[in-house]
């Protein structure tokens, strides 16, 4: 299993206090993509819009999408939404977790705060988190502004060589990853790597991951593994 | 019918050449939202990620989502994708129209080029266009950087008073618009208006519109109406 080397010392410090912090699923996959690029060209600002699957809301979220979609084909079964605030079948909902005073949702705030905590407090993040009618697999449209220039080809090479990342990026029909294809996989998939010429040093990319693996269970195992290695080294 | 006053003179110039240019659906709704804000605080840069419905790809797109979703409940009917490059049922696809050498798709390039043409060549746009399993209604997560400071409350007031726009923006469960709710409506709906504090003068917003109305037929009628008024005035 490939473990990204994200802040192992911070994890060890938490361990000493008997606290293990596992980031939110949408943040987890984003920082895997950002870390190697930040090491090379220093990220200043990130604008991210998410396409998050219903399994992020647990089994009830999955059941609601499944049953509600079926009821559209057979309206006698029609049930009002309970887990989500609006119909999720054949719809998208720009709201995940509770609203904060700032107007951000807590999910959006987590992407801001956890990226700073895990990678670098200097990185500015603004996020819009959206629920989509997908069972498993979160997708993210990520726009990144760097301190230094980073060519799209170099960004692609860096990501290809980074642990935990699989780059699938051909500029042709099907030459990118969609969430149904990432299900059951451990990698964070990156596609659509493009220069953003609207700023001096910008890159756009598309990031997809199985939120039930990288977002939760797998990430906890990976943290435990990093921690185990640290304890062994220090012990 | 409320007609946004977008570049009526340009439309009239086209008419004299017997050309009527109707923008792409994803651009049409975005410029309706951007125009009044640009007039007030001058837009420098836009980062937009779209959530576009299958009806943007015509009747075949609608049929493919309907039939493919049904086949997931009844796999004997299983058919491979033909209209879209990958499964669209319970999935999202980061690809609309053909790829260009820049790595952008033509749909993304249109959002850049048409926004400049309709509003102001100085506005920089970077776009990521994504197909979602929604029948009708395009959604857009729009991040805007202005020349001058614009408070989120003022932005909300400006949008509320603008022609063709309906603001639904309460920071509570359901206090925003999703695509299934806009179907059959003529307005461009704006929600989730928030200060973006990662730049000096930033605003995030969520924009939803019936792509079959504002995106195509309605917009053509509105252009014809503007043109009619112009001809009447000049005639």
Q: What is the pLDDT of residues A53-104, one digit of tens each?
A: 999 999 999 999 999 999 999 888 777 899 999 999 999 999 999 999 999 9
pLDDT in tens, A124-147: 999 999 999 999 999 999 999 999
Tens digit of each residue's pLDDT (9 = 90 or more) over B106-144: 999 999 999 999 999 999 999 999 999 999 999 999 999
Assess A80–B contact: CB distance below 8 Å, yes or no: no
Task: Say what the pLDDT of residue B203 is.
Answer: 98
In sequence order, the 6+-apart residues with CB closer than 8 A to the CB of A169 are A156, A175, A176, A190, A191, A192, A193
CA distance A110 to B214: 35
Backbone torsion region of residue B101, taken as left when φ is above 0, otherwise alpha when ψ lies between -120 and 50, otherwise beta: alpha
Residue B64 three-state SS: helix
8 Å CB contact of B125 and A193: no
Task: Give the pLDDT score at A84.
Answer: 98
Q: How many CB atoms lie within 10 A of CB A172?
A: 10
- Which of A226, A221, A60, A33 lies closest to A131, judged by CA? A60
Residues 6+ apart with CB under 8 A from A213: A184, A185, A186, A219
State the pLDDT at residue A19.
67
pLDDT range class, residue A15, cuts 50, 70, 90: low
Contact B177, B168 (CB under 8 A): yes
What are B234's two structure tokens? 């000049």
Question: A95 catalytic, yes or no?
Answer: no
Task: Report the pLDDT value the prediction gives residue B23, as an integer from 0 to 100.
Answer: 86
Is B160 in CB contact (< 8 Å) with chain A? Answer: no
In angstroms, rounded to a whole number, what is the distance separating the alpha carbons of residues A184 and B10?
A: 52
Active site residues of B: 25, 138
How confident is the model over A104-118, as a mean pLDDT? 97
Q: Check pLDDT > 50 for residue A3.
A: no
What is the dihedral sign for C-alpha A90, A96, A101, A102? Answer: negative
Residue B193 at interface with chain A, using a CB cutoff of 8 Å: yes
Residues of chain B with C-beta less than 8 angstroms from the C-beta of A195: 102-103
What is the average pLDDT across B39-43? 98
Average per-residue pLDDT for chain A: 90
- Per residue in B46-93, pLDDT (tens digit) is 999 999 999 999 999 999 999 999 999 988 877 789 999 999 999 999
The percentage of residues in chain A with a pLDDT greater than 90, rounded to a whole number, is: 76
Tell me how far apart the alpha carbons of residues B78 and B70 are, in angstroms, rounded to a whole number: 9
**Between B104, B171, B191, which is nearest A194 by CB?**
B104
Of A19-33, A145-159, B47-61, minimum mean pLDDT range: A19-33
Out of A102, A180, A199, the one facing B90 most closely (by C-beta) is: A180
Give bridge partners of residue A142 from the DSSP assignment: A48, A205
Mean pLDDT of the region A204-217: 88
Give backbone dihedrals phi and psi of B140, rounded to 5 degrees, phi first.
Answer: -140, 130
The length of chain A in residues reads 235
Cβ–Cβ under 8 Å, residues B135 and B54: yes
CA distance, residue B95 to nearest chain A CA (Å): 8
The answer to whether residue A196 neighbours chain B at the CB level (below 8 Å) is yes
The tokens describing B92, both together, are: 């999202």
Instruction: Classify residue A146 by its DSSP letter.
Output: E
Residue B104 in tokens: 């952008």
Tokens of A188: 């964070």
Whether the predicted pLDDT of A219 surpasses 50: yes
Q: Report the residue from B92, B174, B194 with minimal CB separation from A179.
A: B92
pLDDT at residue B158, rounded to an integer: 98
Give yes or no for residue B231 having a pLDDT over 70.
Answer: no
From the candidates A120, A122, A192, which should be mutated to test the interface with B, based on the most B CB atoms within 10 A?
Answer: A192
What count of other Cβ atoms lies within 10 Å of the Cβ of residue A75? Answer: 7
pLDDT at A2: 41
In this complex, the residue of B126, B128, B141 whose CB is nearest that of residue A128 is B141
Looking at residue B6, what is its pLDDT? 47
Rounded to an integer, what distance in angstroms lies between the CA atom of residue A40 and that of residue A75?
Answer: 54
Cα–Cα distance for residue pair A126/B49, rounded to 1 Å: 13
Q: What is the pTM of this model?
A: 0.91
Q: How many CB pairs under 8 A join A and B?
A: 151
Measured between beta carbons, which residues in chain B are less than 8 angstroms from residue A49?
49, 128, 141
Predicted confidence at residue B235, as pLDDT, reads 53
Confidence class of residue B19 from pLDDT cuts 50, 70 and 90?
Answer: low
Exposed/middle/buried for B70, CB within 10 Å: 0-12, 13-18, 19+?
A: middle
Q: How far apart are CA B127 and CA B109, in angstroms?
A: 8
Cα B142 from Cα A91, distance rounded (Å): 18
Q: What average pLDDT is seen over chain B?
A: 90
Q: Which of residues 30-59 of B touch A (CB under 8 A)?
A: 45, 47, 49, 51
Q: Among A1-5, A145-149, A198-202, B57-61, whose mean pLDDT is lowest?
A: A1-5
Contact B108, A198 (CB under 8 A): no
How sure is the predictor about B16, in pLDDT bands with cuts at 50, 70 and 90? low
Tokens found for residue B89: 């049922």
ipTM: 0.91
Query: What are the helix (H) ranges across chain B?
Result: 8-16, 25-41, 59-73, 106-118, 152-160, 179-182, 218-234
What is the rounded distance in angstroms from the CA atom of residue A176 to the CA atom of residue A202?
20
The order of strands in the sheet holding B43-51 is B124-128, B43-51, B138-146, B202-209, B188-196, B165-167
The pLDDT tens digits of the residues spanning B165-223 come to 999 999 999 999 999 999 999 999 999 999 999 999 999 999 999 999 876 667 777 87
């Amino acid at each position: 299993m490939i473990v990204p080397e994200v802040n192992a010392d911070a994890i060890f410090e938490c361990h000493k206090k008997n606290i293990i912090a596992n980031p939110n699923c949408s943040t987890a996959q984003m920082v895997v993509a950002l870390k190697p690029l930040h090491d090379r060209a220093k990220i200043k600002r990130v604008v991210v819009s998410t396409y998050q699957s219903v399994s992020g809301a647990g089994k009830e979220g999955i059941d609601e999408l499944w049953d509600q979609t079926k009821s559209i084909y057979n309206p006698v079964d029609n049930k009002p939404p309970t887990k989500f605030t609006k119909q999720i079948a054949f719809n998208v909902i720009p709201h995940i977790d509770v609203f904060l005073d700032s107007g951000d949702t807590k999910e959006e705030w987590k992407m801001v705060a956890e990226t700073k905590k895990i990678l670098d407090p200097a990185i500015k993040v603004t996020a819009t988190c959206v629920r989509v009618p997908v069972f498993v697999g979160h997708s993210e449209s990520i726009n990144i502004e760097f301190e230094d220039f980073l060519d799209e080809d170099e960004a692609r090479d860096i990501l290809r060589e980074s642990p935990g990342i699989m780059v699938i990026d051909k500029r042709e029909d099907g030459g990118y990853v969609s969430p149904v294809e990432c299900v059951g996989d451990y990698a964070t998939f990156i596609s659509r790597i493009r220069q953003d010429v609207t700023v001096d040093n910008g890159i756009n990319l598309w990031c997809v991951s199985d939120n039930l693996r990288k977002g939760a269970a797998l990430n906890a195992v990976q943290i435990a593994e990093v921690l185990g290695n640290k304890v062994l080294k220090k012990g």
